[in-house]
């Protein structure tokens, strides 16, 4: 995850501190301030996982927004 977040500068801040992800046991929540930023994060995570012989489980992956508008950007997980 550290490699995947290497180029993700993030736009979410809490108390003037940039937050790029939350880690809980074997779950990782990637945080993004826009749909485009989220798409780049998911793509980078998938490419980084592939380099290590791993893959993202599309069945277990969820996209959640705190906006009243639905997500309209096409975000592809594991093809």
pLDDT tens per residue across span 41-61: 888 888 888 899 988 888 888
Question: What pLDDT is attached to residue 3?
Answer: 80
Is the Cβ–Cβ distance between 50 and 5 less than 8 Å? no
Q: What's the mean pLDDT when you consider all of the chain?
A: 83
Question: What pLDDT is attached to residue 53?
Answer: 92
Cα–Cα dist 20/40, whole Å: 13
Question: What pLDDT is attached to residue 25?
Answer: 84
Query: What's the predicted TM-score (pTM) here?
Result: 0.76
Q: Long-range contacts: 55-63, Cβ < 8 Å, 24+?
A: 63/38
Q: Is the pLDDT of residue 77 over 80?
A: no
The dihedral built from the CA positions of residue 65, 34, 75 and 2, taken in this order, carries a sign that is negative
Question: What pLDDT is attached to residue 79?
Answer: 66
């Amino acid at each position: 995850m550290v490699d995947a977040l290497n180029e993700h500068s993030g736009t979410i801040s809490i108390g003037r501190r940039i937050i790029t992800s939350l880690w809980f046991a074997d779950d990782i929540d990637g945080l993004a301030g826009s749909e485009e930023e989220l798409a780049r994060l998911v793509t980078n995570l998938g490419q980084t996982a592939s380099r290590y012989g791993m893959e993202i489980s599309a069945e277990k992956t969820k996209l959640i927004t705190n906006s009243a508008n639905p997500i309209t950007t096409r975000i592809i997980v594991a093809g």
